[in-house]
């Protein structure tokens, strides 16, 4: 027994572990470099593990040697008497979900009013571009806008209790939660990446992990790593032992859409109310009034016809904190917002979209909403947003619990 030195000579990264403890850390982006470190060993067998990694940049180079009392101080190759490798590790799996909307995400994103772009399973949260995220989704998936919220759900099994440091490196706002508790929050918008970390003490066992990322441009980058007792004190990409669904149930927002077509041109408000001249075309459901082009409406209302159109959108919104709320309708042509059967926003005009807002005091509870929208040709934009106590002052898309089946006008 005595002090033994272990040496790794490698191009790029290598580690030597003795009895599951890191003895030599020869990581980094470098050519052939030798690093050594000593450890006190007792007489008997000791488990040795070597990890090596490289890219195509350098030639494969790896030499592992040791020296000490058994070698008379000479560096020799490390012998092994019983090379039994452990079972291969379970491949890391994260559930990834991507949502989008057509307006800027202000404050925390709300999946219930956003459109699901797609979902997939990824090995690590390690993306340098929006295109890399897209490749992880089913083939043919397209991003309808650059306003995205990306969610990752996983399950981390901890073997050794202790303090774990979790880090997010991103150019976008992102946060990380462990067992539904906030651990890392990065509020950052920039083309350059920034790293933020948070420490939490974890017991042995499984822990629910969630990472959330928001982007309002084509720029996207996010990398999540951690370090702690289980990693041997080495920073590693955060893995997930199993893909998990969202930890909290989400009730999707539901707006009912109905459309009629007029038999003649719509020249004034009265024409849009002449049910004897309107033919019912169909109905559909959408998570929010978040339409900026024809394809947005057709996604939820396949029968949508832009000619001599009269549309009604029915919703029911739940207010949790009473107070004054700004209700904002953005539309081209003629749009009207009713709250509990009372007209609150009238936004009429030509083909150019414009915003019109109204401050309304809303009590706690459910409020019936209805939006009317009519035009002769080519209606493209209709957005309904609100801000107030429930949104912490942030302007957000207005959600709806299922309005059921309101009577026809």
Q: Are residues 152 and 204 in the same domain?
A: yes
Tell me how many domains the chain contains.
3
Q: Is pLDDT of 364 > 80?
A: yes
The pLDDT of residue 380: 84
Task: Give the pLDDT band of residue 299 (cuts 50, 70, 90).
Answer: very high
In this predicted model, which residue has the larger pLDDT, 170 or 27?
A: 170
pLDDT at 255: 98
Segment 215-232, tens digit of pLDDT: 988 789 999 999 999 987
Position 407 in a domain: no
The answer to whether 205 and 162 have CB atoms below 8 angstroms apart is: no
Is the model's pLDDT at 161 over the cut of 90? yes
Q: Are residues 392 and 262 in the same domain?
A: yes
Task: Write down which residue in 178, 207, 237 finishes a domain.
Answer: 237
Label residue 55 exposed, middle or buried (CB < 10 Å: 0-12, 13-18, 19+): exposed
**Do 64 and 105 fall within a single domain?**
no
Q: What is the pLDDT of residue 249?
A: 64
For residue range 176-193, list pLDDT tens digits in order: 999 999 999 998 766 788
Q: Are 278 and 342 found together in one domain?
A: yes
List, for residues 34-67, the tens digit of each pLDDT value: 999 999 999 999 999 898 888 767 788 899 999 9
Domain that holds residue 17: 2-77
Q: What is the pLDDT of residue 282?
A: 97
Could you give the CA distance from residue 227 to residue 294 in angstroms, rounded to a whole number? 48
Closest by Cα among 400, 336, 406 to 372: 336
Angle at 250 between CA 407 and CA 108, to 5 degrees: 105
Residue 242 maps to a domain: no
In a domain, 135, yes or no: yes
Looking at the structure, tell me whether residues 99 and 65 fall in a common domain: no
Structure-token match 């949790």, residue found: 320
Give the Cα separation of 287 and 394 in Å (integer). 19
Q: Give CA torsion, residues 118, 124, 128, 133, to 10 deg.
A: -10
Six-digit token pair at 336? 């009207």
Q: What is the mean pLDDT of the chain?
A: 92
Q: Say which DSSP state 72 is in.
A: T
- Strand partners for 354: 331
Beta strand residue intervals within 238-379, DSSP E: 255-262, 278-286, 290-291, 307-319, 323-331, 334-339, 342-347, 354-362, 365-377
Please tell me whether residues 227 and 99 are part of one structural domain. Answer: yes
The answer on 281 and 200 residing in a single domain is no
User: What stretches of 145-253 adopt beta strand conformation (E)?
Assistant: 147-158, 162-170, 174-178, 181-186, 194-202, 205-215, 222-227, 236-237
CATH at residue 323? 2.60.120.260
How many Å is the Cα radius of gyration of the chain? 29
With beta carbons less than 8 A apart as the criterion, state whether 110 and 396 touch: yes
Determine whether 117 is exposed, middle or buried from the number of CB atoms within 10 Å of its CB (0-12, 13-18, 19+).
Answer: buried
327-353 pLDDT per residue, tens: 999 999 999 999 999 999 999 988 889
On whether both 73 and 98 belong to a single domain, the answer is: no
- Percentage of the residues of the chain whose pLDDT score is greater than 70: 98
Nearest Cα to Cα of residue 149 among 106, 99, 190 = 99
Spatial separation of the C-alpha atoms in residues 22 and 135, rounded to whole Å = 36
Residue 408 falls within a domain, yes or no?
no
- The tokens of 213 are what? 């990322």
Domain boundary among 237, 263, 298: 237
Tens digit of each residue's pLDDT (9 = 90 or more) over 220-279: 999 999 999 998 788 999 999 988 777 566 789 999 999 999 999 999 999 999 999 999
Instruction: Mark which of 49, 77, 105 sits at the end of a domain.
Output: 77
Kindly state whether residue 409 falls inside one of the protein's structural domains: no
Q: Which CATH number goes with the domain that contains 143?
A: 2.60.120.380
Q: Do 109 and 60 have their domain in common?
A: no
Burial 101-113 (b: 16+ CB within 10 A, else e): bbbebbeebbbbb
What span, in angstroms and rounded, lies between the C-alpha atoms of 328 and 398?
10
Q: Check whether residue 208 and residue 135 sit in a common domain.
A: yes
pLDDT tens-digit readout, 17-30: 999 888 999 987 78
- Kindly state whether residues 329 and 283 are assigned to the same domain: yes
Q: Do 41 and 147 share a domain, yes or no?
A: no
pLDDT in the model for residue 248:
61
Lowest mean pLDDT of 11-15, 226-230, 257-261, 393-397, name the range: 11-15
DSSP string across 29-41: S-SSEEEEEEEEE
Largest alpha-carbon pair distance within the chain? 104
Q: What's the pLDDT score for residue 247? A: 58
What is residue 206's predicted lDDT score, i.e. its pLDDT?
96
pLDDT for 311: 98
């Amino acid at each position: 027994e005595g002090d033994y030195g272990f040496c790794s000579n490698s191009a790029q990264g290598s580690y030597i572990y003795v009895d599951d403890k890191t003895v030599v850390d020869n990581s980094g982006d470098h050519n052939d470099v030798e690093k050594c470190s000593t450890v006190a060993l007792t007489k008997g067998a000791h488990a040795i593990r070597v990890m090596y990694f490289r890219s195509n940049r350098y030639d494969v180079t790896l030499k592992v040697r040791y020296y000490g009392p058994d070698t008379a101080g000479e560096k020799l190759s490390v012998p092994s008497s019983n090379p039994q490798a452990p079972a291969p590790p379970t491949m890391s799996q994260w559930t990834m979900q991507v949502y989008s909307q057509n307006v800027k995400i202000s404050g925390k994103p709300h999946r219930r009013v956003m459109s699901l772009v797609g979902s997939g399973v990824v090995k690590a949260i390690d993306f340098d571009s929006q295109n890399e995220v897209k490749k992880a989704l089913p083939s043919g998936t397209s991003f309808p806008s650059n306003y995205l919220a990306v969610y990752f759900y996983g399950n981390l099994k901890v073997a050794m209790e202790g303090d774990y440091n979790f880090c997010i490196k991103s150019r976008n706002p992102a946060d990380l939660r462990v067992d539904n508790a906030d651990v890392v929050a990065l509020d950052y918008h920039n083309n350059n990446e920034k790293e933020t970390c948070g420490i939490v003490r974890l017991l042995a066992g499984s822990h629910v992990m969630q990472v959330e990322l928001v982007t309002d441009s084509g720029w996207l980058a996010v990398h999540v790593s951690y370090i702690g007792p289980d990693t041997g004190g080495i920073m590693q990409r955060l893995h997930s032992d199993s893909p998990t669904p969202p930890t909290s149930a989400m009730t999707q927002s539901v707006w009912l859409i109905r459309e009629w077509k007029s038999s003649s041109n719509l020249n004034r408000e009265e024409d849009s109310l002449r049910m004897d001249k309107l033919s019912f075309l169909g109905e559909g459901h959408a998570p929010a009034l978040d339409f900026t082009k024809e394809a947005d409406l057709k996604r939820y209302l396949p029968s949508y016809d832009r000619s001599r159109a009269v549309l009604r959108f029915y919703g029911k919104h739940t207010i949790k904190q009473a107070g004054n709320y700004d209700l904002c309708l953005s539309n081209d042509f003629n749009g009207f917002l009713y709250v509990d059967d009372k007209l609150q926003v009238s936004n009429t005009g030509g083909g150019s979209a414009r915003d019109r807002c109204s401050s309304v005091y809303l009590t706690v509870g459910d409020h019936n909403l209805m939006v009317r929208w009519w035009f002769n040709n080519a209606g493209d934009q209709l957005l309904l947003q609100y801000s107030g106590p429930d949104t912490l002052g942030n302007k957000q898309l207005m959600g709806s619990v299922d309005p059921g089946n309101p009577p026809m006008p």
